[in-house]
Amino acid sequence: MGFLGFIKGFSSVYRAKPRIRAYPSFCQHGHCYIQCRTFSHFKDHDDSVLPVLIVGAGPVGLVLSILLTKLGIKCSVLEKGKSFSHHPQAHFINNRSMEVFHKLDGLAEEIQRSQPPVDLWRKFVYCTSLTGPVLGSVDHMQPQDFEKVVSPVCVAHFSQYKLIRLLLKKLEDLNFLICKPEGLNDEPFRGGELLMGHECVKINATGQSVNVTASHLKEGKYTERNISCNILVGTDGAASTIRKLAGIEMRGEKDLQKLVSVHFLSRDLGQYLLNERPGMLFFIFNTEAIGVLVAHDLKQGEFVLQMPFYPPQQSLDDFSPETCKQLILKLVGQELSDIDVIDIKPWVMHAEVAEKFVSCDNRIILAGDAAHRFPPAGGFGMNTGIQDAHNLAWKIAAFVKGVAPSSILHTYETERRPIAIFNTALSVQNFRAAMAVPATLGLDPTIANSVHQTITDGIGSILPSGLQRVVLDGIFTIGRAQLSEFLLNEKNLLGSSRLAKLRRLFEEGKSLQLQFPAEDLGFRYLEGALIPDSDSVRAQVPPTGRRRDYIPSSDPGSRLPHMNVRMLSNSFSEACISTLDLLPGDKVEFLLFIAPLEKSYHLAVAALKVAEEFKVSVKVCILWPTDTVKGAETRSKTALAPWENYIDVAEAKKSSNSFSWWSMCQMTDKGAILVRPDEHIAWRAKSSIDDDPVLEMKRVFSAILKVNI
């Protein structure tokens, strides 16, 4: 069924549970009375106020709406577009985003099944034309990338618009309604609606809620509609209206480069490249044109060509479909009869991060490109946004469910803003690494940019605009002459020295990389909803733009290391799951890892007791070494009674010399690790707790959830 080809009547997807009040309640196991807290000050009995409104149905807004819906939080989404763009845009999904998708009812596996085979996209190819000489080719996959040692899933190459389709399907499976503007009546939103053709134009934060005005076209006239929500999340992209309306400034470098993106189809070109030189990115340098071709799908012949754009001397009219076709042919180097130009879009590359991610008393929040925009080199834009949504969802759920005060939402900024700043610096490094290739060929893009600036703002600005254009074209033509076959060959002294330099650049990994395992899986929150170890606060290593391997770590703030484990309770199943899969995606639940030792069981009992007091769920995971699993279940049952939320698992080692769980975590089995619902480590004890474990767990949960005790 088409995503937008129908309009259903509203139906309640999730009804609000009664608000938690401060009253004595009987515990789950019937042996204690506890004082429950409430932090939600909003009126969730009031159907006219939505708990969460998301503005922008790009990948980040859609992922957030899925995560929240799975956690039982009512949310609706506004999208200004009447339909979804087919411009492929992002295509590289990194390992951590694939782990997030793995928990969205197998979305990662669906992507893996639908993406092109990895051998068709593992390389970047550098050439003077697509059918001409290859200057170099870099393979970005290493054997360990396929071994699933550090993660249960792998990176993927899948166009953004195809991802959007799968995300919409996931939302529909969760009973979300995707509505056309004309299909709406004036009923208040109940949560679970994606409203197409609705542009947020005004916001007004009052005492307890945010009033949002959305404009939509109804019977030929723009009509406004007001929506009240408790939390407003702006996932409305790089030019975010929410960011502007909330008065949040961007900080960083603007206008690094202007480009034109040409989306086109050619099955002939796809077939040729598939057979002759498959790859993901083709950097093409020839005397007539320069461009980067992104092969979104060689089998379908779907491509995007990125070319530098120099306004005001150049205008978008200079990139008509016919001109683009001619430029494509120059870059291909031979005739093709089936080029079909679909879309031509200019865009500007920035390296900026919002000064705040959370404002208006924690009620207005920015995520994705609305909060950060950086060069696409290295593919961190959408991935960083997806991971913003993952960090945010459980915190919103904890607040809406009354488990944590609104200050938990502020930890989203404390944790994610430094990551955005780091990824911006990394993307700028990557952009520079990409520019090192043309610079080695004698075509330094920084020189081209300064020439352009001198003509636009400096001495050249006195020239009439037509003449400025002629001068610019002339200088660029002279520049591109460096790429002529006459110069760029092994027999020419200058050419051979440039080619040798280029080879060194590729061999030393100094050209643009595709994978960054250390940053992709190894990013770490230093403060926020966690308790840092006094001995683990290390300075961030500045980004290098080079591939560095991920080293598993149990330092608080790190992602939980992956290891395959075998569930002991299910004696019929020999199936292994990842430690990351032990956390559910549909519940705000913490996970406490312990070894089967007496003191650790005491700590686990204290954690279960305290968690109940804090109205939060904790599951205990008892990790047994592979060789001592006999009697595991009886031992844990007796030690943890009357609590039942625990799981016994055994390490499923790949080989006898692989690291054990505790040594991989650089700890001993006397310690314990507490993991948050987003699979980041909240707290760890490196050795057994000798003081009162209940007091310790109270300290831990109050610090993580920002609850005063």
Ligand X SMILES: Cc1cc2nc3c(=O)[nH]c(=O)nc-3n(C[C@H](O)[C@H](O)[C@H](O)COP(=O)(O)OP(=O)(O)OC[C@H]3O[C@@H](n4cnc5c(N)ncnc54)[C@H](O)[C@@H]3O)c2cc1C
Report the residue from 50, 67, 78, 397 that binds ligand X according to the rule CB under 6 A.
78
CB 84 → ligand X: shortest distance, Å? 7
Identified binder of ligand X from the candidate list 39, 42, 92, 189, rule CB under 6 A? 92
Span of 75-83, 177-185, 323-331, 531-539 interacting with ligand X by CB under 6 A: 75-83
Q: Among 70, 80, 102, 103, which residue sits at the site for ligand X (rule: CB under 6 A)?
A: 80
In sequence order, what are the beta bridge partners of 314?
A: none
Q: Considering beta carbons, is residue 259 or 682 the nearer one to ligand X?
A: 259
Residue 313 binds to ligand X (criterion: CB under 6 A): no
For the bound state, the minimum distance from the C-beta of residue 289 to ligand X, rounded and expressed in Å, comes to 18
SS3 call for 324 = helix
| Binding-site member from 37, 70, 74, 91 for ligand X (CB under 6 A) | 91
Helix, strand and coil percent figures for the chain, each rounded to 5: 35, 25, 45
User: Closer to ligand X at the Cβ: 200 or 705?
Assistant: 200
For position 40 contacting ligand X by CB under 6 A, the verdict is no
Q: Please report which helix (H) or strand (E) contains residue 636, including its range.
A: helix 632-640
Q: Of 237 and 556, which has the nearer Cβ to ligand X?
A: 237
Q: Compose the 111-150 pattern: x for residues touching ligand X by CB under 6 A, - for all others.
A: ----------------------------------------
Among positive and negative, which fits the CA dihedral 329, 350, 409, 188? Answer: negative
Largest CA distance in the chain: 88
In the shown chain, the binding pattern of residues 242 to 271 toward ligand X, with x for contact by CB under 6 A and - for none, equals -------------------x----------
Contact call for residue 89 and ligand X (CB under 6 A): yes
**What angle, 0 to 180 degrees and rounded to 10, lies between the N-to-C axes of helices 160-173 and 107-114?**
140
Give the shortest CB-47-to-ligand X separation in angstroms: 23
Q: Verify binding: residue 65, ligand X, rule CB under 6 A.
A: no
Cα separation, 593 vs 200, in Å, equals: 44
Query: Does 515 participate in binding ligand X (rule CB under 6 A)?
Result: no
Cα separation, 651 vs 667, in Å, equals 16
382 binds ligand X (CB under 6 A): yes
Phi-psi region of 360 (alpha: psi -120 to 50; beta: other; left: phi over 0): left
Judged by CB, which is closer to ligand X: 36, or 518? 518
Q: Would you count residue 56 as binding ligand X (CB under 6 A)?
A: yes
Q: Which of 314, 423 has the CB closer to ligand X? A: 423
682 touches ligand X by CB under 6 A: no
Taking the CA atoms of the chain, what radius of gyration do you get in angstroms? 27
* Residue 291 touches ligand X, criterion: CB under 6 A: no
**In what helix (H) or strand (E) does residue 379 lie, and over which residues does it extend?**
none
Separation CA 666–CA 678 (nearest Å) = 21
Which residues 154-183 are close enough to bind ligand X by CB under 6 A? 160
**Cβ burial 426-453 (10 Å sphere, 16+ → b, else e):** bbbbbbbbbbbbbebbbbebeebbebbe
Burial of residue 628 (number of CB atoms within 10 Å: 0-12, 13-18, 19+): exposed
**In angstroms, rounded to a whole number, what is the distance separating the alpha carbons of residues 147 and 153?**
9
Measured from the CB of residue 284, what is the shortest distance to ligand X in angstroms? 16
CA distance between the termini of the chain: 52
| Tokens, residue 279 | 């790859």
What is the spatial distance between Cα 75 and Cα 192, in angstroms, rounded to a whole number? 6
Shortest distance, position 113 Cβ to ligand X, whole Å: 19
Task: Select from 84-92, 267-275, 309-317, 642-650 the region that touches ligand X (CB under 6 A).
Answer: 84-92
- Check binding of 71 to ligand X (CB under 6 A): no
* Residue number, nearest CB to ligand X: 58
448 phi, psi to nearest 5 deg: -60, -40
Determine the Cα angle at 504 with ends 498 and 506, to 5°: 105
Minimum CB separation from ligand X for residue 586, in Å?
A: 23
Nearer to ligand X, 367 or 672 (CB): 367
CA distance 529 to 397: 14
Please report how close the Cβ of residue 353 comes to ligand X at its closest, in angstroms: 13
**Residue closer to ligand X, measured from CB, 80 or 410:** 80
3-state SS assignment for residue 243: helix
| Rounded Cα–Cα distance for residues 675 and 588 (Å) | 11
Residue-wise DSSP of 435-459: HHHHHHTT--HHHHHHHHHHHHHSG
- CA-to-CA distance for 259 and 247, rounded, in angstroms? 28
Choosing from 3, 10, 14, 347, the residue that interacts with ligand X (CB under 6 A) is: 347
Binding to ligand X by residue 102, rule CB under 6 A? Answer: no
Question: How many Å apart are CA 709 and CA 704, to the nearest integer?
Answer: 12
Closest approach, Cβ 199 to ligand X, in A, equals 4
Q: Which of residues 427-446 bind ligand X (CB under 6 A)?
A: none
Measured from the CB of residue 185, what is the shortest distance to ligand X in angstroms? 20
Stretch that binds ligand X, among 90-98, 114-122, 133-141, 278-286 (CB under 6 A): 90-98
The residue count of the chain comes to 709
376 binds ligand X (CB under 6 A): yes
Is 157 or 559 the residue whose CB approaches ligand X more closely? Answer: 157
Q: Which stretch binds ligand X (CB under 6 A): 147-155, 377-385, 469-477, 617-625?
A: 377-385
Which residue in 17, 26, 48, 81 binds ligand X (CB under 6 A)? 81
The count of residues interacting with ligand X (CB under 6 A) is 33
Q: How far is CA 104 from the centre of its chain?
A: 14
Q: Distance between CA atoms of 264 and 251, rounded to whole angstroms?
A: 34
Nearer to ligand X, 57 or 622 (CB): 57
Number of CB atoms found within 10 A of residue 407's CB:
17
C-beta of 176 vs 380, nearer to ligand X: 380
Distance CA 311, CA 452 (A): 9
Give the Cα separation of 34 and 178 in Å (integer). 43
Q: Given the DSSP bridges, would you call strands 33-35 and 340-354 parallel, antiparallel or unpaired?
A: unpaired
Least distance between ligand X and beta carbon 654 (Å): 30
Q: Please, what is the minimum distance in Å from the beta carbon of residue 388 to ligand X? A: 8
Closer CB to ligand X, 95 or 688, in the complex: 95
Pick out residues in 185-244 that bind ligand X (CB under 6 A): 199-200, 235-237, 241
Binding stretches for ligand X (CB under 6 A): 55-61, 78-81, 89-92, 160, 199-200, 235-237, 241, 261, 347, 368-369, 376, 379-383, 385
